[in-house]
Structure 1
Amino acid sequence: MNEVLTLAYIGGYFWWRRRTRDMLAPISGGAGDPTVHWAVQAWQLAIVTSFVVRFGNTSSDSTRDGIATRLVWDAIQAGVRLAGLALLLVGVWQIREQVRRRVAEIGVDLRIRNTGSGRVPLVAPLGMPALPAAADLEPADDGFWQRVGRLAGAAGADLALLEITGKATRRWALVPPAGDLAAVRAAVPDGAIVTVFAEPPSAADTTAFIPVPADYYHGFLEDDVTGAFSYQTVRPTGVPVFLARARNARRWALYPTESPSSVTAVAGPA
């Protein structure tokens, strides 16, 4: 019976950890894996130790001393299992706290909603900055894109373009410093809010970086291996975590949502 309970604990823990990692997948990255804790590793060691004691205690000596020895080893095995269970509870609690801190730092709502499909839905941003009304923005017409081209040419480097569609979908693209912007423009869907930042993403170390004070930031990260772009809404409390991720990025940037040097427009038919 004890072995069955142990296997149930093992199966339950790994199922819970897999579900937690699936939930965290959209915001993966940062300093360390929040689903790992030393107490869980110690629990796994305790399980191995208890099985070693269990299968090593196979004496069939029916004398008083033999029975006493078996009882001692049974007590040791029970003690190891109880210690392991205590370590598991500590580990699960600490992992829970680590996950809560990671979610709070990143600033997303990971509450799982019933979608009827059995799949974990995409996360919805928590406390996202308010979007400007499309009616209040200039159209992303020829004049806008010419101005964007001049900004990129003046910078002499790729500029970050943030595309916002709907309430939560954000995507980065790059505006080249020279050449035709037709491909960049064509990739932006009608109705999207387009913001181009005058400061190009940086490949510099993040150690000495001090952000301009703001309520929210747009985080730009370019994967060092694949070159893929990832977006992150960053609160002031989440800046250290973002910068930790940025140390491993090919290029990175942290733009205040109200950046005075940015240009914004709403895309429409060309």
Structure 2
Amino acid sequence: MRVLNLEQLRTLVAVAEAGSLTAAAPQVFLSQSAVSEQLRKLEEQVGQTLLLRSKAGAAPTAAGEQLLAYARRMLALGEQACLDLQGVALEGTLRLGVTDYFRPAELAGLLARMQSQYPGVRLQVAVHKSSAIEAGYARGEFDVGLSMRLPSAAAPERGRERGQVLRREPLRWMAAAHWQREAGTPLRLLALPQSCSLHQFTVALLQRRRIPFSVALMASGVAGLQSALAAGLGVACLNESALCAGVQALSPGAGLPALPQARFVVLPPREGESDFVRRARERLAEGFA
């Protein structure tokens, strides 16, 4: 039976979050060579390359990200077990900012489950577009922020992610179940307002591919966009978990450009973050992944 070493997993998490072995070493109270040796043993045990090393630092591979998700849960569970045995409850007010795109059909249930598991936590939740979440987090309006990030030519997905990648979702072209594209007419695009990063991404993609379109409707939130889609008012680009009743994900045969994945990221901790917020962030990441 293979058993993963928690200290090796802790080192992997530290390197992924710090962005390099050198920066991670003091966080886990090891020399750089000891960090490298722990990672070598871990990669040998799982039979996968977990980190890509370069002059710029170290970034997780796909296998590394998969193991990181388990590692964070295992470390958080171990800490929670110790705290529970010591009678240390998770108590306090947590100001949480969440992007409107994050698992729209499930978000309320996820929040309710967290509230049930940790009754001492008083949640104050704001649902906004990602740019507002990141700006508000920078101003100190939220203790924990969850935003959506998209690849672009200007900011390709490479190197160290600023924050913890919680999950990845494919983007899909969506339309009503009965929708058929009319030949010779511009695509009727449905989107959130122009300040939305997904709106900007979608428009730029269609323009690059020289696909004629018109913005037929701008909704204030994902729920409004889903209603407009189900009513057959046009086509939208949304993350996969936004698929809802009466709406279909269009096949590649629809003649629309291929789409990448979106990344949902828990914003990185601020300097001086309280122990309560750190623990709450870990519990939230564990429950929302």
- Structure richer in strand, relative to its length: 2
Find the structure with the greater CA-based Rg: 1
What TM-score, normalized to structure 1?
0.26
What TM-score, normalized to structure 2?
0.25
